[in-house]
């Protein structure tokens, strides 16, 4: 996902270009906006965390770009490309170092496992939207 603050700042094209230039193939892509209910469901795993309310509110605050990406070792390589959750700790050249505003408004989300990637992909896309 490209998150609301990165979309509002006009970074979507540059972020997508960077992702594709690193060998990720697009399987699905959608410009959409999450309701608070949908954002809460997407991040349900973080329900008990102190930042959950802020996270849900923020993720529903504006349009996002959702994508399914394919590559060998996609989860690991994408997490390396996006960098640490907190942009202050993200390595040079990573997406979060370049484009994130803060730990909460951190520009992009990447799945943390193949199993979660399948769940999160199905959250946004029907099989007819995946190629």
- Which positions are catalytic? 109
103 lies in the binding site for ligand CMP (CB under 6 A): yes
Contacting ligand CMP (CB under 6 A), which of 44, 47, 51, 122? Answer: 51
In the complex, the smallest distance separating the C-beta of residue 46 from ligand CMP, rounded to whole angstroms, is: 6
Contacting ligand CMP (CB under 6 A), which of 106, 117, 120, 124? Answer: 106
Q: Residue 35 or 116: which CB sits closer to ligand CMP? A: 116
Residue 83 vs residues 8, 28, 38: alpha-carbon distances, Å: 21, 22, 25
Q: How would DSSP label each residue in 36-69?
A: HHHHHHHTGGGTTSTTHHHHHHHHTSS-EEEEEE
85 lies in the binding site for ligand CMP (CB under 6 A): yes
The span of 23-31, 61-69, 98-106, 120-128 binding ligand CMP (CB under 6 A) equals 98-106
- In b/e form, how buried is each residue of 45-78, taking b as 16+ CB within 10 angstroms? eeeeeeebeebbebbbbeebbbbbbeeeebbebb
Angle formed at CA 86 by CA 81 and CA 40, multiple of 5 degrees: 95
In the complex, the smallest distance separating the C-beta of residue 128 from ligand CMP, rounded to whole angstroms, is: 26
- Interface residues with ligand CMP (CB under 6 A) are 46, 51, 54-55, 85, 103-104, 106, 109
């Amino acid at each position: 996902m490209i998150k609301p603050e990165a979309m509002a700042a006009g970074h979507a094209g540059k972020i997508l270009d960077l992702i594709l230039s690193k060998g990720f193939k697009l399987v699905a892509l959608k410009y959409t906006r999450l309701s608070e209910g949908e954002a809460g469901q997407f991040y349900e795993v973080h329900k008990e965390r102190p930042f959950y309310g802020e996270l849900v509110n923020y993720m529903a605050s504006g349009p996002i770009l959702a994508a399914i990406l394919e590559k060998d070792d996609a989860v690991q390589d994408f997490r390396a490309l996006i960098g640490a959750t907190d942009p202050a700790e993200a390595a040079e050249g990573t997406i979060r170092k370049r484009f994130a505003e803060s730990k909460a408004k951190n520009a992009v989300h990447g799945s943390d496992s193949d199993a979660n990637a399948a769940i999160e992909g199905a959250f946004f896309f029907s099989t007819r939207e995946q190629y």
